[in-house]
Structure 1
Amino acid sequence: MALRTFLRTLGANAPSVDTLVTTARIRPGTPLRCEVTVRGGGADLDVERLRLELVVRAEDLEPDGSTTWNNPYVVSHATGDPFKLPAGGTVVRHVTLDMPWEMPLTHARGVRLAGSRVAVRTELAVESAVDRGDFDEIEVHPLPHQELVFQAYEDLGFRFHESEVKLGTQPWPDRMKDRRTAPFWQELDFHFPASWNRGTQELETVLITRPDEIDVHPGGYPPVTLPAGEPDRARYTRALEEHIRSYWS
């Protein structure tokens, strides 16, 4: 996936940057490896900073509620050492960004999750001028046990509506059994099946994912914890239905 940013703010003879993401489909917990190629413009330059950011659209930072994003939240970043860029020359840097286990998803069940956006942003600082470039979007696909949660909801008749990323460092209530390790979480909204007689009400679900298991928080209630190893579809579906009905009978 090649992502090119022309550094418009640095003038007509400015360098350009190509950021190549080596994995088109990223999953939580997997390092995001990038190859950044900086091509020189019409003059020798001292590059003071090359920084890559992994950013997400956060509901709290977009007050108009639209799916556009102007003020993303930085999940992780990596900054390289200064270097000299000769006129017309090329410098290549390899950069790795951390992808946390609780990384918001952009896709599940083979389709894009409405409202969820993730991108890599390349920043170049040259002689006190900084160009942060555009958002170059990437796809974050679920781990097998995350995918199985979506499958189980589908089997139960729930329909996905939208995703929102929330920010906050305050602890959740004790009943929530808060095991977050990140200062953000992804809220997944599902329409209840008609057979549950909940009208137009939605079930807000938060997934707290770890390598060995996943906490599924339905509607602000305590989670049901499911194993990651050899996940069983019928077991997931049965456990989720029993847990949700215990609070939403």
Structure 2
Amino acid sequence: MALRTFLRTLGSNAPSVDTVTGTGRILPGAPLDLTVHLRGGGADLDVERLRLELVVRAEDREADGSTAWNNPYVVTAVTEGPFRLPAGAHLTREVRVDVPWTMPFTHARGERLRGSRVAVRTELAVDGAVDRGDFDEIEVHALPAQDMLFGIYEDLGFRFHESEVKVFSQPWPERYRSRRSTDYWQELDFHFPDSWDYKGWELETVLITFADELDLHPGGNPPVTLSYADMDREKWAQAVERHVRRHWNR
């Protein structure tokens, strides 16, 4: 039975849930603070579960559409409960979600990435029924190191096309197994420069991000690892160009 149908059997005044984000803009690796307001309805209610999910649009979970996300993928979640919501009461829950370093980002260099979407989804479970009514889209901005790589690609003549999140229920493909820690990854698609003789091709780049460094996989090839402790743009640019040309040279 749907939750709203169940709640209507309790009386005309159904309970409500509203989730408020401390900010609509976060970074990978930084905590996300949420405030959940619950208002009781016309009868006491035993809540089995209050769950806050950080979800992303995953390319291979959508039937079609470049930005559709009818079946988002849950990156991380926090669950509270069970607890009682008295009739007419107002309960406030402060919840902190630890955003992983591998969190797909929606913005780079201040601009939205085509195809990348992230939201906070609130789930309330009562008497075996689940309601996922509260769905708040947020922005995840690239880390300084990720922004720098976008600039380096641009300097090399690459043009960004779109972002896709890939999800594998099976083990990761061999090409990404260097230091994987999740069953998802963000793929950034760039058009090759005309001077590289790959007209019409795209370089599918995967960034596997950690607290102190990141792995850049160009086109599914082994990674070049770049440390945040030495974020020298010229050095990074030389390392990236050398690595990409090593695998894409003809």
**Residue pair 1:59, 1:65 contacting (<8 A) in 2 also:** no
TM-score, length basis structure 1: 0.91
Alignment of 1:38-187 (within 5 A): 38-168=38-168, 169-173=170-174, 176=176, 178-187=178-187
> In the alignment, which residue of structure 1 is the partner of 2:189?
189
**Residue pair 1:22, 1:33 contacting (<8 A) in 2 also:** yes
Offset of 1:77 from its aligned partner? 1.0
CA distance in 1, matches of 2:66, 2:155: 30
CA distance in 2, matches of 1:192, 1:22: 39
Residues 65-84 of structure 1: CA deviation (Å, up to 9, x unaligned): 43111111111111112222
CA distance in 2, matches of 1:90, 1:129: 22
Task: Identify the range of structure 1 (148-157 vs 181-190) with the bigger mean alpha-carbon deviation.
Answer: 148-157
CA distance in 2, matches of 1:66, 1:193: 24
Offset of 1:204 from its aligned partner? 0.3
**Residue pair 1:45, 1:127 contacting (<8 A) in 2 also:** no
> In the alignment, which residue of structure 1 is the partner of 2:209?
209
CA distance in 1, matches of 2:181, 2:132: 28
CA distance in 1, matches of 2:42, 2:222: 60
Check 1:89–1:176 CA distance in 2 against 1; reply closer, same or farther (3 A cut): closer
CA distance in 1, matches of 2:108, 2:219: 20
CA distance in 2, matches of 1:24, 1:176: 31
CA distance in 1, matches of 2:156, 2:108: 16
CA distance in 2, matches of 1:205, 1:77: 27
* Counterpart amino acid of residue 77 in structure 1: A
CA distance in 1, matches of 2:24, 2:73: 21
TM-score, length basis structure 2: 0.91
Offset of 1:15 from its aligned partner? 1.4
Residues 212-240 of structure 1: CA deviation (Å, up to 9, x unaligned): 11110000111111111251222221211
* Counterpart amino acid of residue 201 in structure 2: Q
Offset of 1:167 from its aligned partner? 1.0
Mark the runs of 5 or more structure 2 residues left unpaired by the alignment: none
Cα RMSD of the aligned pairs, angstroms, is: 1.7
CA distance in 1, matches of 2:176, 2:184: 15
